[in-house]
A and B are shown apart, each in its own frame.
Chain A
């Protein structure tokens, strides 16, 4: 539901409020001790003429923007105003729609419905080129750069300075770049380097400078601090402060509360693609933010968390000690027991996936020991890990999971082919393929037209079941599931949770990497929270752990001395110091 569509635009600053966009599907957020709540007004179409005349129209405004991918609603009726000289933070869990929001603003995706207004006029952002022409720029988490080109060239690929003869005027470009580097306090020496030789943090600074060179009026930062050191982050905040002072509109996408605390002027919380709430004035009530962020799919919490944990977990199967895989994870130690579901919770970029891949032999760790049933396990490839009894279901289903054009049955037997060949003739026994496929079809309730149909004919949930089936036909001791239910509908999600529990009940050690709190609480025996490549806390999921606490550890530095921002953070919000966790160490 829109924030302001039913009010004159001029009033939109006047009072703090948050718009419960969720009411569109009849399920509003629970009543909170948050900021004032305004009941959703019925939607009204906004005439362009009204807007054009409105004084001080915000730089950009999204009006009831929706975007779906198949059955997934990435954005639902999202309305946000982005004003000049304001740092507008968008907070939300992974999958809440933040990335989609950026892509809509940057012309990469077209909204299904709703409109975007720029400086009071309707704008159709059909392509990234249009977005740039409107003065929009985005600095992505993984900078999109030309690694073999120089820094200066990277900044001027589009619209370079030219001399009278049409040559590239490097001196003029350098002057412009240096002026901006100076303003951003970036080392001018970088200008002579190749982009690919720079650290990620520096690449990001160059891209910010590029946005300024292009005179962007709206700059979007997508999780910028996840690749930065503490000092670099502090510097970035100074830069963003200056952008605000210079009148830019800044969109700051993040899940880190110390970032928001440090720089945000406003916070909009996205939950399941909807605006769950908006905070327009400092100081922010971060307790409320946490509640809104974790409030997604609230029903999932209703399941009695400890109900299925009757039998005590068996002996330890896999033990990881001091695993480091820079720059992703550092000195990580954990263990998982037979029959146990161990969940890694954290935000994107916390290093969970890379940590798992290092255990699985897909990334090479620089330090650490992995033990399997007490014996040291050295793996250099996924193949060896699988042989040792470790399976890994990747996070990115399309890029690393499915063989899109291949048959469903092919997808299921991909890793066990060696086991089902005939003795002498070495052919893959079709009867075995059929048996294995039918077995998984039944036990995982995969709805398919025929086992020979390509996997791409299934829904996302169906595809994910097939890949899970691929691991079920293996003889595994440990199964790592990386975001097993991302982008999957609610019913299938619940099925997945049942499957995960029953796998553990059958004696498998299951490790689940998830950024979905309700999911973590639904399946976990134990919860480890990772943040910036380290395990920061551990909980036992016996009803004593609260979702808010878990989330808080994932999004902000804990009480122990953490990053540079940690101290300030406590001072600013004494109420937010996380309570003592039930179990801080592994033992």
Chain B
């Protein structure tokens, strides 16, 4: 009953108002962009000099990059009707492994590759239990959250790793393309890549289909387990990239590295318009959502708002983002049935 397509409800629907009609033409991403621009303008006119300072701006862009990269993966996971709350502690694992590898003076690029491999591995564990164990994703990732935390602790052995090579910080934070840190360029490039994958590659089509109507997808013979493995492993890999960026940003690995990071990423994804019920969501929404979340945070810092309020705002953005999404889809349903 519940997965009957929306248009089944048929029947006469209220004629949408003219305003509603015009607004309906604008894509959700347009609103997000507008909100970011408005936030930017407000900041410009109030605390313009500090907002446009190159330290603030590049710091903001780096923060956006760190959230955006895993938000791409989170978007895909949510599109398949999943969720992953373990990525915060996965950040910890990757950071520690990378830190240890640096301590052993492994080649720079090899360390990066090892870090990403660890992330993919963690994601594969989640994906495998979800795909084959038929355990709800929230339970699986709640469990692995603490497992990853324990692994981080074990590997750290109670000490902090602080001798991260300056090269990482150089690459992540200092090297820039104009005013834009390379990390942000990487994030944008990944967004472009996965926008392309989701729009133009067969796997993208299959991911959308699997989340939109799992029953239909299964009947059509799509290998659902492959899709699960793919999205969770991808999220793991992207999380690893974010972890490496985090280590570059603050070259210190400690047991709390990455804590609560998953919430920011989930916030970015749902604020970015991904349908929490699956089947819908754009990778670029993750970027815009991350931007909005981070610019709000930046504003809080610039206005010297108590940092405690930031958490409240973030929570409100998650709940607000999803309820706007629910309302938006409800409205579209009544309009859609006009046909």
| A contacts B directly (C-beta below 8 A) | yes
Question: Does A158 contact B8, Cβ atoms closer than 8 Å?
Answer: no
Among candidates A108, A194, A399, residue contacting B1 with C-beta atoms closer than 8 Å: A399
Residue numbers in B under 8 Å from A146 (CB-CB): 208-209, 212-213, 216-217, 279
Residue numbers in B under 8 Å from A327 (CB-CB): 10-11
Question: Does A166 contact B222, Cβ atoms closer than 8 Å?
Answer: no
Among candidates A144, A162, A198, residue contacting B202 with C-beta atoms closer than 8 Å: A162
Residue numbers in B under 8 Å from A158 (CB-CB): 220-222
Is A576 located at the chain interface by the 8 A CB criterion? no
Instruction: Please report the C-alpha to C-alpha distance between residue A152 and residue B23 in the assembled complex, in whole angstroms.
Output: 25
CB of B168, distance to nearest CB on chain A (Å):
34
Is B205 located at the chain interface by the 8 A CB criterion? yes
Q: Bin chain A's interface residue count.
A: 35 or more
Residue numbers in B under 8 Å from A200 (CB-CB): 7-8, 10
Q: Bin chain B's interface residue count.
A: 20 to 34
Encode A451-470 as 1/0 by CB contact (under 8 A) with B.
Answer: 00000000000000000000
Question: Does A148 contact B279, Cβ atoms closer than 8 Å?
Answer: yes
Question: Does B220 contact A147, Cβ atoms closer than 8 Å?
Answer: no
Residue numbers in A under 8 Å from B1 (CB-CB): 399
Is A143 located at the chain interface by the 8 A CB criterion? yes
Is B206 located at the chain interface by the 8 A CB criterion? yes
- Chain A's interface: helix, strand, loop or mixed, by majority? loop
Given contacts A157-B222, A197-B339, A399-B1, contact A148 B280 (CB under 8 A): yes
Instruction: Please report the C-alpha to C-alpha distance between residue A128 and residue B5 in the assembled complex, in whole angstroms.
Output: 21
Question: Does B221 contact A128, Cβ atoms closer than 8 Å?
Answer: yes
Question: Does B11 contact A148, Cβ atoms closer than 8 Å?
Answer: no
Question: Does A168 contact B11, Cβ atoms closer than 8 Å?
Answer: no
Given contacts A326-B10, A366-B11, contact A195 B5 (CB under 8 A): yes
Instruction: Please report the C-alpha to C-alpha distance between residue A5 and residue B43 in the assembled complex, in whole angstroms.
Output: 84
Instruction: Please report the C-alpha to C-alpha distance between residue A366 and residue B11 in the assembled complex, in whole angstroms.
Output: 9
Instruction: Please report the C-alpha to C-alpha distance between residue A158 and residue B205 in the assembled complex, in whole angstroms.
Output: 9
Question: Does B7 contact A198, Cβ atoms closer than 8 Å?
Answer: yes
Is A442 located at the chain interface by the 8 A CB criterion? no
Is B219 located at the chain interface by the 8 A CB criterion? yes
Question: Does B201 contact A157, Cβ atoms closer than 8 Å?
Answer: no
Is B143 located at the chain interface by the 8 A CB criterion? no
Is B6 located at the chain interface by the 8 A CB criterion? yes
Question: Does B6 contact A168, Cβ atoms closer than 8 Å?
Answer: no
Residue numbers in A under 8 Å from B219 (CB-CB): 108, 128, 144
Residue numbers in A under 8 Å from B5 (CB-CB): 143, 145, 147, 195-196, 203
Residue of B nearest to A157 (CB): B209
Instruction: Please report the C-alpha to C-alpha distance between residue A63 and residue B274 in the assembled complex, in whole angstroms.
Output: 50
Question: Does B10 contact A153, Cβ atoms closer than 8 Å?
Answer: no
Residue of B nearest to A161 (CB): B202
Among candidates B208, B216, B332, B339, residue contacting A199 with C-beta atoms closer than 8 Å: B339
CB of A104, distance to nearest CB on chain B (Å):
15
Residue numbers in A under 8 Å from B12 (CB-CB): 326, 366
Residue numbers in A under 8 Å from B8 (CB-CB): 142, 200
Encode A127-152 as 1/0 by CB contact (under 8 A) with B.
Answer: 11100100000000011111111000
Residue numbers in A under 8 Å from B200 (CB-CB): 167-168
Is A160 located at the chain interface by the 8 A CB criterion? yes
Encode A411-434 as 1/0 by CB contact (under 8 A) with B.
Answer: 000000000000000000000000
Residue of B nearest to A144 (CB): B216
Encode B2-30 as 1/0 by CB contact (under 8 A) with A.
Answer: 00111110111000000000000000000
Among candidates B7, B201, B205, B209, residue contacting A203 with C-beta atoms closer than 8 Å: B7
CB of B277, distance to nearest CB on chain A (Å):
10
Is A156 located at the chain interface by the 8 A CB criterion? yes
Question: Does A197 contact B336, Cβ atoms closer than 8 Å?
Answer: yes
Question: Does B336 contact A157, Cβ atoms closer than 8 Å?
Answer: no
Most chain B C-beta atoms within 10 Å of own C-beta, residue among A156, A199, A202, A366: A199
CB of B207, distance to nearest CB on chain A (Å):
11
CB of A39, distance to nearest CB on chain B (Å):
41
Question: Does B7 contact A157, Cβ atoms closer than 8 Å?
Answer: no
Residue numbers in A under 8 Å from B103 (CB-CB): none
Question: Does A166 contact B7, Cβ atoms closer than 8 Å?
Answer: no
Within 8 A of B (CB), among A198-212: 198-200, 202-203
Residue numbers in B under 8 Å from A160 (CB-CB): 202, 205
CB of B6, distance to nearest CB on chain A (Å):
5
Within 8 A of B (CB), among A217-243: none
Given contacts A147-B213, A149-B212, A157-B209, contact A196 B336 (CB under 8 A): yes
Residue of A nearest to B277 (CB): A148
Question: Does A157 contact B217, Cβ atoms closer than 8 Å?
Answer: yes
Question: Does A168 contact B205, Cβ atoms closer than 8 Å?
Answer: yes
Encode A538-560 as 1/0 by CB contact (under 8 A) with B.
Answer: 00000000000000000000000
Question: Does A197 contact B208, Cβ atoms closer than 8 Å?
Answer: no
A-B contact pairs, 5 of them (CB 8 A): A132-B220, A146-B213, A167-B200, A168-B200, A200-B10
Closest 7 CB pairs of A and B: A129-B221, A326-B11, A197-B336, A146-B212, A147-B5, A148-B279, A327-B10
Residues of A within 8 A of B (CB): 108, 127-129, 132, 142-149, 153, 156-158, 160, 162, 166-168, 194-200, 202-203, 326-327, 366, 399
Q: A145-B213, A326-B11 are in contact. List 7 more A-B contacts (CB 8 A).
A: A142-B4, A144-B219, A146-B213, A162-B202, A166-B202, A168-B204, A326-B12
